[in-house]
């Protein structure tokens, strides 16, 4: 591992499973060296070993995005090992129980906000700082929003609020990054099939109170979308992209 400005460096948070893992593997296949961040060290190390077996280079950095010191340490490691960062995919996120708001604890609300909003802010802040200072200057920040950044599901006030906040953060960074050659994008994902979302195949509460099984989309299509966003020159940007199962009930009235 060496500081070589000709190599492309990507950072993926929540890289140990689901969408994060799929995107990390896709970026590796595209020639990026990938820094894999997440709270659990074991799946990150498994990803590193999978990358090595395929002839790629990944680095596991266990990180809690809610903790400013942990995020600072992550970016210090990226800078020390690689000297720069070209792309970050802010993917780490959590949900809260789908219950009426008065049944949610303040702790559950704060856990979602601290992870999905403050955690994304901290990682954007760290990436922005490094991308602004490095030579050549600039890079790309890609945030995992959700279609919940636009339309809620029933009983998802914490998650929906957090993803609306991410949308505002993305727009702000897309504006503020211009003079430093930093592009910021958001991908809004609907019903990607991962080990975390498989429960949705058994039925999801709808706006009219009924429970219905919804179509799902292969996570590889999400990874390919992020691959495309990451492949663009910094003079071009996908500000917002929605990738969803075609027939899910997002478009229309519930």
- Strand 32-38 and strand 58-62: the pairing is parallel
List helix spans (H) across the chain: 18-29, 41-53, 68-82, 106-113, 119-133, 157-176, 219-231
Residue 11 phi/psi, 5-degree rounding, is -120, 130
**Rounded-to-integer distance, Cα 25 and Cα 2, Å:** 21
Catalytic entry in 159, 162, 191, 245: 159
Residue 81 phi/psi, 5-degree rounding, is -80, -45
Beta strands in 191-226 (DSSP E): 192-193, 204-205, 211-212, 217-218
Is 159 marked active-site? yes
Torsion of Cα atoms, 14 then 69 then 165 then 132, to 10°:
-90
Would you name the residues annotated as active-site residues?
Answer: 159
């Amino acid at each position: 591992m060496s500081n070589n400005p000709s190599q492309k460096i990507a950072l993926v948070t929540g890289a140990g499973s689901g969408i994060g893992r799929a995107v990390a593997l896709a970026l590796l296949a595209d020639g990026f060296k990938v820094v894999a961040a997440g709270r659990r060290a074991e799946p990150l190390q498994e990803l590193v070993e999978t990358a090595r077996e395929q002839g790629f280079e990944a680095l596991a950095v266990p990180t809690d995005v809610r903790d400013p010191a942990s995020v600072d340490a992550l970016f210090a490691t990226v800078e020390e090992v690689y000297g720069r960062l070209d792309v970050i995919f802010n993917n780490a996120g959590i949900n809260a129980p789908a219950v009426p708001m008065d049944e949610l604890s303040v702790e559950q609300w704060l856990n979602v906000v601290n992870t999905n909003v403050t955690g994304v802010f901290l990682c954007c802040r760290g990436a922005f700082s490094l991308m602004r200072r490095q030579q050549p200057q600039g890079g790309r920040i890609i945030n995992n929003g959700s279609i919940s950044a636009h339309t809620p599901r029933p009983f998802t006030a914490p998650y929906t609020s957090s993803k609306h906040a991410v949308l505002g953060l993305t727009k702000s960074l897309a504006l503020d990054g211009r003079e430093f050659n930093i592009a910021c994008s958001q991908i809004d994902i609907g019903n990607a099939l991962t080990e975390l979302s498989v429960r949705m195949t058994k039925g999801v509460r709808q706006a009219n109170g009924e429970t219905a099984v919804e179509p799902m989309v292969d996570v590889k299509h999400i990874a390919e979308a992020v691959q495309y966003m990451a492949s663009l020159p910094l003079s071009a940007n996908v500000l917002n992209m929605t990738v969803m199962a075609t027939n899910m009930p997002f478009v229309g009235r519930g």
